[in-house]
């Protein structure tokens, strides 16, 4: 039964090889979508190129539906799949800060790696900036360790939070994604000046 690593089908060493292969696929698809090019990413925030939104929500829906489907048929133990723990305060503020950095810098960490390796100089510089910012965070960490842990709610999911089963939440996520796709296509028609 999946997740295979959690059920001891292979050890840590093998998991590293799998990590490399999964990473290759991850990087490949990021580049295919055009995420190695900062301007294409940033035009999202001017409603001129909604690729970020479309790719992101398509990926989330595919993986989410896949997980629920596999678990429904008993092929995968959902309780053994890592759910990011929630720290509400730190995640709201961290997300806002990251969004500011996204609009200014034009990349996020993963896409900057793809940008840098395909020769985008701004991607290389962004990557150095991000490494620098993380060092700064570490140096200042003792000052806001308390805030870093604020709003801790454990590994909570949306279904648990709202007290409903996964089905309706997943359906709502799919409907929201479809709405965003339709809205995104409409916005592009209205605002896009060129194909990037």
Partner 1 sequence: MKEQKYWSPYVSGIGLGLTLLLAFVMVGRGLGASGAMMRFDVWILNLFAPQHAASNPYFARYAQSPLSNWLVFEAIGVLIGGFLSGALGGRLKLAIGKGPQISNRNRLILAFVGGSIMGIGARLARGCTSGLALTGGATLSLGGWVFMFAVFAGAYATAWFVRKQWI
CB of 132 to partner 1, least distance (A): 5
- The residue within the footprint of partner 1, chosen from 119, 165, 189, 190 (CB under 8 A), is 119
Q: Is 174 in the site for partner 1 (CB under 8 A)?
A: no
Residue 82 backbone zone (phi > 0: left; psi -120 to 50: alpha; other: beta): beta
| Buried-state track 57-90, b at ≥16 Cβ within 10 A, e below 16 | beeebeebeebbebbeeeebeeeeeeeeeebeeb
* CB of 121 closer than 8 Å to CB of 142: no
* Nearest distance, CB of residue 189 and partner 1, angstroms: 15
Tell me 65's DSSP state: H
- Please tell me whether residue 167 binds partner 1 under the rule CB under 8 A: no
Q: In b/e form, how buried is each residue of 108-142, taking b as 16+ CB within 10 angstroms? A: beebbbbbbeeebebbeebbeebeeeeeeeeeeee
The one among 72, 118, 167, 171 contacting partner 1 by CB under 8 A? 118
Q: Using an 8 Å Cβ cutoff, are 10 and 93 in contact?
A: no
| 8, 21, 73, 74: which one binds partner 1 (CB under 8 A) | 21
Number of chain residues interacting with partner 1 (CB under 8 A) = 127
By beta-carbon proximity to partner 1, the closer residue of 74 and 138 is 138
Q: Give the residue, chosen from 11, 74, 138, 163, that forms a contact with partner 1 under the rule CB under 8 A.
A: 138
5 binds partner 1 (CB under 8 A): yes
Tell me if 187 contacts partner 1 by CB under 8 A.
no
Single out the residue of 11, 72, 74, 120 in contact with partner 1 (rule: CB under 8 A).
120
Provide the β-strand partners of residue 152. Answer: 87
Is 34 one of the binding residues for partner 1 (CB under 8 A)?
A: yes
Within 10 angstroms of residue 48's Cβ, the number of other Cβ atoms is 18
According to the binding rule CB under 8 A, does residue 72 interact with partner 1?
no
Do you find a cis peptide bond into 157, omega within 30 degrees of 0? no
Asked whether position 171 contacts partner 1 by CB under 8 A, the answer is no
Site for partner 1 in 88-107 (CB under 8 A): 88, 90-107
């Amino acid at each position: 039964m999946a997740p295979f690593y959690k059920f001891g089908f292979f050890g840590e060493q093998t998991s590293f090889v799998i990590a490399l292969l999964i990473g290759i696929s991850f990087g490949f698809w990021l580049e295919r979508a055009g995420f190695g090019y900062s301007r294409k990413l940033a035009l999202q925030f001017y409603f001129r190129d909604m690729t970020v939104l479309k790719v992101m929500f398509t990926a989330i829906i595919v993986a989410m539906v896949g997980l629920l489907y596999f678990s429904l048929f008993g092929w995968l133990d959902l309780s053994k799949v890592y759910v990011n723990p929630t720290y509400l305060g730190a995640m709201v503020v961290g997300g806002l800060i990251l969004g500011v950095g996204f609009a200014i810098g034009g990349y996020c960490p993963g896409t900057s790696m793809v940008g840098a390796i395909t020769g985008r100089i701004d991607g290389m510089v962004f990557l150095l900036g991000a490494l620098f910012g993380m060092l700064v965070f570490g140096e200042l960490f003792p000052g806001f360790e308390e805030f870093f842990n604020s709003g801790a709610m454990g590994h909570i999911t949306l279904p648990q939070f709202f007290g409903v089963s996964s089905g309706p939440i997943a359906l709502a996520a799919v409907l929201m994604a479809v709405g965003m796709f339709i809205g995104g296509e409409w916005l592009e028609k209205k605002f896009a000046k060129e194909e990037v």
